[in-house]
Amino acid sequence: MSEDLPAGWELTTLGTVVESQKGKVPKKFTECPQDGFVPYIDIEAFETGRIKRYATDSGTTIATENDVFVVWDGARFGLAGKFPGGALFVPLIDISTRPVTRESQRMQPT
Protein backbone atom coordinates (compact mmCIF):
# COMPACT_ATOMS: atom_id res chain seq x y z
CA MET A 1 0.00 0.00 0.00
CA SER A 2 2.85 2.42 0.74
CA GLU A 3 3.90 2.23 -2.92
CA ASP A 4 0.58 3.97 -3.78
CA LEU A 5 1.51 7.10 -1.77
CA PRO A 6 2.98 10.23 -3.38
CA ALA A 7 6.75 10.68 -3.17
CA GLY A 8 7.85 11.83 0.29
CA TRP A 9 4.67 10.60 2.03
CA GLU A 10 4.67 7.80 4.58
CA LEU A 11 1.89 5.63 5.97
CA THR A 12 1.06 6.00 9.66
CA THR A 13 -1.81 5.28 12.04
CA LEU A 14 -4.52 7.80 12.89
CA GLY A 15 -3.50 7.66 16.56
CA THR A 16 -0.09 9.13 15.78
CA VAL A 17 -1.58 12.36 14.41
CA VAL A 18 -4.77 12.84 16.47
CA GLU A 19 -5.90 12.21 20.01
CA SER A 20 -9.40 11.91 21.39
CA GLN A 21 -11.00 12.59 24.77
CA LYS A 22 -14.52 11.62 25.74
CA GLY A 23 -16.72 14.14 27.54
CA LYS A 24 -17.27 13.86 31.30
CA VAL A 25 -20.10 14.81 33.65
CA PRO A 26 -19.24 18.13 35.31
CA LYS A 27 -19.54 18.49 39.09
CA LYS A 28 -21.61 21.71 38.90
CA PHE A 29 -23.82 23.56 36.44
CA THR A 30 -25.23 27.05 36.23
CA GLU A 31 -27.59 28.67 33.75
CA CYS A 32 -25.64 31.94 33.62
CA PRO A 33 -21.97 32.58 32.78
CA GLN A 34 -19.82 32.82 35.94
CA ASP A 35 -16.12 32.77 36.80
CA GLY A 36 -14.79 29.21 36.74
CA PHE A 37 -17.58 28.02 34.42
CA VAL A 38 -17.39 27.39 30.68
CA PRO A 39 -20.10 26.76 28.07
CA TYR A 40 -21.48 23.22 28.38
CA ILE A 41 -21.63 21.58 24.96
CA ASP A 42 -24.47 19.08 25.01
CA ILE A 43 -26.16 17.64 21.91
CA GLU A 44 -28.65 20.53 21.65
CA ALA A 45 -25.89 23.15 21.90
CA PHE A 46 -23.81 21.21 19.36
CA GLU A 47 -26.70 21.09 16.87
CA THR A 48 -28.16 24.58 17.38
CA GLY A 49 -25.24 26.67 18.64
CA ARG A 50 -27.25 27.83 21.68
CA ILE A 51 -25.67 27.44 25.11
CA LYS A 52 -28.23 26.84 27.88
CA ARG A 53 -25.90 25.77 30.70
CA TYR A 54 -22.38 26.37 31.92
CA ALA A 55 -20.20 23.81 33.69
CA THR A 56 -17.24 23.92 36.04
CA ASP A 57 -14.02 23.75 34.13
CA SER A 58 -12.33 21.36 36.56
CA GLY A 59 -12.76 17.62 36.15
CA THR A 60 -14.39 17.96 32.73
CA THR A 61 -13.13 17.55 29.19
CA ILE A 62 -12.43 21.02 27.86
CA ALA A 63 -12.24 21.45 24.10
CA THR A 64 -11.21 24.42 21.97
CA GLU A 65 -12.58 25.91 18.78
CA ASN A 66 -9.74 24.20 16.89
CA ASP A 67 -10.99 20.71 17.76
CA VAL A 68 -13.48 18.52 15.93
CA PHE A 69 -16.34 17.05 17.98
CA VAL A 70 -17.99 13.70 17.25
CA VAL A 71 -21.08 12.17 18.88
CA TRP A 72 -19.69 8.87 20.14
CA ASP A 73 -22.92 7.02 20.98
CA GLY A 74 -26.70 7.38 21.08
CA ALA A 75 -29.23 8.41 18.44
CA ARG A 76 -26.93 11.05 16.89
CA PHE A 77 -23.89 8.71 16.68
CA GLY A 78 -21.41 9.88 14.04
CA LEU A 79 -22.56 13.52 13.91
CA ALA A 80 -19.38 15.58 13.64
CA GLY A 81 -18.49 19.24 13.45
CA LYS A 82 -16.78 22.21 15.05
CA PHE A 83 -17.98 24.44 17.87
CA PRO A 84 -16.46 27.20 20.01
CA GLY A 85 -14.71 25.70 23.04
CA GLY A 86 -16.30 24.47 26.23
CA ALA A 87 -16.98 21.44 28.44
CA LEU A 88 -18.09 18.35 26.52
CA PHE A 89 -21.23 16.32 27.22
CA VAL A 90 -20.60 12.60 27.85
CA PRO A 91 -21.47 11.20 24.38
CA LEU A 92 -19.23 13.73 22.64
CA ILE A 93 -15.55 13.18 21.96
CA ASP A 94 -13.01 15.85 21.18
CA ILE A 95 -10.55 15.06 18.39
CA SER A 96 -7.48 17.26 18.23
CA THR A 97 -4.31 17.05 16.20
CA ARG A 98 -1.03 16.12 17.78
CA PRO A 99 2.12 17.97 16.81
CA VAL A 100 3.66 16.19 13.84
CA THR A 101 7.30 15.33 14.30
CA ARG A 102 9.62 13.42 12.03
CA GLU A 103 9.28 10.45 14.41
CA SER A 104 5.47 10.46 14.22
CA GLN A 105 5.73 10.41 10.43
CA ARG A 106 7.59 7.07 10.39
CA MET A 107 5.79 4.27 8.63
CA GLN A 108 3.67 2.17 10.95
CA PRO A 109 2.78 -1.47 10.32
CA THR A 110 -0.80 -2.05 9.16
10-residue mean pLDDT profile of the chain (110 residues): values are 76 84 89 93 89 89 88 88 87 80 50
Domain architecture of the chain: domains with CATH: 2-105 (3.90.220.20)
Helix-then-strand count for the chain, H and E: 1, 9
Task: Give the C-alpha separation, 60 to 91, whole Å.
Answer: 13
pLDDT at 31: 95
3-state secondary structure of 16: helix
pLDDT at 110: 44
pLDDT at 28: 92
pLDDT at 109: 45
